[in-house]
């Protein structure tokens, strides 16, 4: 096992009816800016519940954080925090709203052009406004990690940062808040959580059986509940609860502690979203099967373990088993209604040059756990994903 630090300070309040506990979770004297995305938090009644729970505290609302949150919109919120003297931020929404709030919390105290936070990947953050979250879409794990991904629309760049200062103080995870999600967002959540797990598991063995079996447990849970989430005539509480906790556990630092991590699928995927506005999870479904095939040699041992333990593949030559494991992965994404090829999103070979150029422009030239995914390898992966 590799050396590691593990410290996750986020308090999770999980379960039905927990939103009311914001009354205790938010500091009593706080002046709160609630931040939401489009119309969903208002329509579902969650925003009204949040406001009621804040009671006598002074509060206002910033709305309009878009999916794949932009630097431009976030900076408007920074202005409101500064001019209104807000000292606590409350994200109500999915990964986009929580990510934006992390950036806003750090940018409020940042001197100079805050895009530098993304350029330095968060290393230049020295403090942040405290914040909490009410999660309405299980997918990203942002509710219990310190990472955030922000898009500069003007520059066409989607970059990530992280910092010890950008963990949520708390996150409220009420599975009933997912009942209003459209099927495509549920499917996105399953696939995003699945790929987060794979990024930290499907690398090379370092004799870390606890992390491996946690990861395999998350993958098996997602495979089991994913199709049921889409076909159930009415939302089933336990399935929603298990999706929510699986997605949080997939990216809260636990399964990634002490093991090599890949993340090349995510980095290539971010460029596809920035250039073609494809949902985050869908970009991962395009890239991952092609990447696993391209990297089948360096990932050989873990691919065989994945095939056997997650998909029950025990017969055939090693190569046949690996091919079968990759095909089962692709079929799982497709069964969730998610296309796994660029052509499924109207993109052809002509799109590849720009994606590779953007990877180079953003310094994404040595990706993956072995740092061997160069622009030439990324190109082969994208060609195989046509
Ligand atoms: O904007 P509103 O009206 O709220 O609608 C949202 C949005 O249109 C809707 N929605 C959310 N909760 C709902 C709901 N609709 C009905 N009922 C509800 N309960 O869903 C749409 C998508 O929301 P969004 O927050 O964009 O989705 P997601 O949670 O998948 O977040 C995606 C973003 O997270 C980043 C992605 O890159 C992307 O920008 N990621 C963040 C990570 C992190 N911080 O650790 C890791 C991930 O790999 C990922 O990169
Ligand atoms: Zn992701």
Task: Show the tokens assigned to 194.
Answer: 């699945």
| Ligand 1 touching residue 368 (CB < 6 A) | no
Q: How far apart are CA 134 and CA 149, in angstroms?
A: 18
Q: How far apart are CA 333 and CA 195, in angstroms?
A: 10
Ligand 1: centre distance to CA 30 (Å): 26
Q: How far apart are CA 248 and CA 8, in angstroms?
A: 12
Measured distance between the N- and C-terminal CA atoms of the chain, rounded to whole angstroms = 37
Could you tell which of 137, 183, 247 is best to mutate to test the pocket of ligand 1, judged by most ligand atoms within 8 Å of the CB? 137
What rounded mean pLDDT belongs to the chain? 98
Task: Show the tokens assigned to 200.
Answer: 């930290």
pLDDT-derived band at 88 (thresholds 50, 70, 90) equals very high
Ligand 2: centre distance to CA 150 (Å): 13
- Rounded to an integer, the average pLDDT of 13-20 is 98
Are the beta carbons of 46 and 92 closer than 8 angstroms?
Answer: yes
pLDDT-derived band at 381 (thresholds 50, 70, 90) equals very high
Nearest-CA residue for ligand 1 atom 43 is 142
* DSSP-derived secondary structure letter, 66: P
Ligand nearest to the CA of 73: 1
Concatenated DSSP letters for 285-302? HHHHHHHHHHTTTTTHHH
Sign of the four-CA dihedral 316, 320, 325, 327: negative
For residue 162, the cross-strand partners are 147
| Exposure of 287 in the CB half-sphere (CA atoms within 13 A) | 30
Q: What are phi and psi of 366, to 5 degrees?
A: -140, 70
pLDDT of residue 159: 94
The protein residues having their C-beta less than 5 angstroms from ligand 2 (an ion) are 192
Ligand nearest to the CA of 284: 2
* DSSP-derived secondary structure letter, 367: B
Ligand 2: centre distance to CA 55 (Å): 35
| Ligand 1 touching residue 148 (CB < 6 A) | yes
pLDDT-derived band at 325 (thresholds 50, 70, 90) equals very high
Strands of the chain (E only): list them. 11-14, 32-36, 59-62, 88-93, 131-135, 147-152, 157-162, 170-173
Ligand 2: centre distance to CA 263 (Å): 9
- Please give the C-alpha separations between residue 33 and each of 57, 91, 155, 362, in angstroms, as whole numbers: 11, 9, 28, 33
pLDDT-derived band at 114 (thresholds 50, 70, 90) equals very high
pLDDT of residue 21: 98
- Rounded to an integer, the average pLDDT of 151-166 is 95
Ligand 2: centre distance to CA 251 (Å): 9
pLDDT-derived band at 348 (thresholds 50, 70, 90) equals very high
pLDDT tens sequence across 20-42: 999 999 999 999 999 999 999 99
| Ligand 1 touching residue 100 (CB < 6 A) | no
Q: How far apart are CA 342 and CA 345, in angstroms?
A: 5
Nearest-CA residue for ligand 1 atom 36 is 280
pLDDT tens sequence across 274-309: 999 999 999 999 999 999 999 999 999 999 999 999
| Ligand 1 touching residue 141 (CB < 6 A) | yes
pLDDT of residue 104: 98
Ligand 1: centre distance to CA 28 (Å): 29
Atom of ligand 1 nearest to the CA of 102: 44
| Ligand 1 touching residue 39 (CB < 6 A) | yes
Are the beta carbons of 178 and 240 closer than 8 angstroms?
Answer: yes
Ligand 1: centre distance to CA 372 (Å): 30
């Amino acid at each position: 096992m590799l050396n590691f630090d593990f410290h996750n300070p986020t308090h999770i309040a999980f379960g039905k009816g927990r939103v009311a506990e914001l009354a205790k979770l938010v500091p009593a004297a706080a002046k709160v800016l609630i931040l939401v995305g489009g119309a969903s938090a208002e329509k579902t009644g969650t925003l009204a519940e949040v406001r009621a729970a804040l009671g006598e505290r002074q509060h206002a609302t910033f709305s309009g954080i878009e999916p794949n949150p932009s630097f431009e919109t976030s900076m408007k919120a920074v202005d409101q925090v500064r001019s209104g003297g807000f000292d606590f931020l409350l994200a109500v929404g999915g990964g986009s709203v929580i990510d934006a709030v992390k950036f806003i919390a750090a940018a409020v105290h940042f001197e100079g052009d805050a895009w530098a936070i993304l350029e330095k990947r968060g290393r230049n953050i020295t403090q942040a406004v405290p914040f909490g979250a009410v999660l309405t879409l299980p997918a990203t794990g942002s509710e219990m990690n310190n990472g955030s991904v922000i898009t500069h629309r003007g520059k066409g760049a989607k970059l990530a940062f992280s910092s010890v200062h950008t963990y949520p103080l708390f996150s409220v995870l009420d599975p009933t808040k997912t009942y209003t999600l459209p099927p495509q967002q549920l499917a996105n959540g399953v696939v995003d959580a699945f790929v987060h797990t794979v990024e930290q598991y499907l690398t090379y063995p370092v004799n870390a059986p606890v992390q491996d079996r946690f990861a395999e447990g998350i993958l098996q849970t997602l495979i089991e509940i994913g199709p049921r989430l889409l076909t159930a005539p009415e939302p089933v509480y336990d399935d929603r609860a298990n999706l929510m906790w699986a997605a949080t556990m997939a990216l809260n630092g636990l399964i990634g502690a002490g093991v090599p991590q890949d993340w090349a699928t995510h980095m290539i995927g971010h460029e596809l979203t920035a250039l073609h506005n494809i949902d985050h999870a869908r970009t991962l479904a395009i890239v991952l099967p092609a990447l696993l095939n391209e990297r089948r040699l360096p990932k050989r041992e873990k691919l065989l373990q994945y095939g056997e333990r997650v998909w029950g593949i025990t017969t055939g030559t090693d190569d046949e088993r690996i091919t079968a494991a990759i095909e089962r992965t692709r079929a799982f994404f497709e069964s969730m209604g998610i296309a796994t090829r660029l052509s499924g999103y109207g993109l052809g070979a002509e799109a590849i040059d720009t994606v590779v150029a953007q990877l180079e422009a953003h310094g994404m030239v040595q990706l993956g756990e072995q740092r061997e995914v160069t622009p030439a390898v990324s190109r082969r992966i994208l060609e195989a994903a046509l």
